[in-house]
Amino acid sequence: MKYQNIVLGILLIASVTIAESLNPSEEQVKIIDGEEFVQTPYGLMLRECVQNVPSGSYVQESEDGSVFIINDQKNFSKRLERNEKCVKNNPARKLKDSVKQFDGWLDYGDWYVPENTKLSKFESFYSVPNTPIGKNDQYLFYFIAAQNNDNSGSGHSVIQPVLSYTLEGWYFQSWNCCPSGQAINAPAVKNITPHDQVYGSIEVKNSQITIISQNKFGEQSLLTVDSNGRNFDWIAATLETYHVIECNDYPFGKMTYSQMNVTLSDGTQAVPQWDTTGFTECAGNTKIIDPKTITIQHNFRD
């Protein structure tokens, strides 16, 4: 059991009240020292730095730090002026040095795209694991992701279709962290139950990145973001958690990333040599079954 999680748990119980969330419903707003926070795949973030936008929206960054989000189909557009609080607390900064310092990432397989090529597409099926027995307000985030670890473009960024388990149950949601410190997500798709196969993909095309999170009924959480000169040179298949306080907060048994395809910009299929260096606990085990299959499991030894 992680000491910092126990401490965090006690702190949260002591100081947090959960307020009614306006938008989206899966956000649980926590009031800490009078400020509103939201739990995200990047840790607790100020609510004003988390944006839920209609599915299919396109996110553009400007050099002045403003972010413009547009969705013609939904007749939606929004300009976010540069927000110093968000810029200052941009969690993507923590991705820079080493992902291992990024609190929350546990079990993962990762791979660097070969230097002379670029990522074009990364897709995978995710098998939804069993629902955890423990109900401790834990947050489990399973995702494939890409990051520009080479420092290219305008700041570090992570793009990810995130299969989430929280008190609200299972849901699947496309996220980008964090242009100008804004964590942007499209509304989650629900109707997800254990043993479903859901589909996630990240595609880089004409300097736009499209993130798809799709349930077995074909419902999507879809987000497109400007690449802004970033080269997504590092990919991972991951479990990230927050507020896990006992082993029962993890599912029993496996979660599987399967039929993973990594397409490079020259059109070839890569054969990733996945590395597994993530921290784990509760008999956690990340297995590279083959270049297209990674399993993550806890509470089970075999």
**Is the CB of 151 or the CB of 259 nearer to ligand NAG?**
259
Task: Tell me: does residue 73 bind ligand NAG (CB under 6 A).
Answer: no
Q: Which is nearer to ligand NAG, 221 or 299 (CB)?
A: 221
Q: Which is nearer to ligand NAG, 111 or 199 (CB)?
A: 199
* Cα separation values, 32 from 3, 38, 243, 298, Å: 21, 10, 15, 31
75 in contact with ligand NAG (CB under 6 A): yes
The CB-of-263 to ligand NAG minimum distance in angstroms stands at 9
Taking contact as CB under 6 A, which single stretch among the options 22-30, 121-129, 132-140, 248-256 is the one that binds ligand NAG? Answer: 121-129
Structure tokens at 251: 């599912």
CB of 117 to ligand NAG, least distance (A): 18
DSSP reduced 3-state for 2: coil
123 counts as binding ligand NAG under rule CB under 6 A:
yes
Q: Which of residues 79-98 bind ligand NAG (CB under 6 A)?
A: none
Burial class (CB in 10 A: 0-12, 13-18, 19+), 97: exposed
Contacts for 290 with CB less than 8 Å, ≥ 6 apart: none
**Which of 261, 268, 273, 277 touches ligand NAG (CB under 6 A)?**
261
Residue 59's beta-bridge partner residues?
A: 69, 225
> Strand 105-112 relative to strand 76-80: parallel, antiparallel, unpaired?
unpaired
Cβ contacts of residue 302 below 8 Å, gap of 6+?
none
Distance CA 5, CA 273 (A): 32
Phi and psi of 87, rounded to 5°? -60, -45
Stretch that binds ligand NAG, among 104-112, 122-130, 176-184, 280-288 (CB under 6 A): 122-130
Applying CB under 6 A, does 259 fall inside the site for ligand NAG?
yes
The one among 42, 111, 122, 125 contacting ligand NAG by CB under 6 A: 125
Among 55, 57, 83, 124, binds ligand NAG (CB under 6 A): 124
CA distance 168 to 173: 13
Amino acid at 285: N
- The candidate with the shortest Cα–Cα distance to 60, out of 234, 232, 229, 231, is 229
Does residue 214 bind ligand NAG (CB under 6 A)?
no
Q: Supply the minimum distance, in Å, between the C-beta of residue 63 and ligand NAG.
A: 27
Least separation in angstroms between CB 194 and ligand NAG:
19
Taking the complex as a whole, how short is the minimal distance between the CB of residue 153 and ligand NAG, in angstroms?
27
Residue list 145-204, contact with ligand NAG (CB under 6 A): 199
Torsion of CA 139, 142, 144, 150, to 10 degrees: 40
| Residues in contact with ligand NAG by the rule CB under 6 A | 75, 123-125, 199, 259, 261
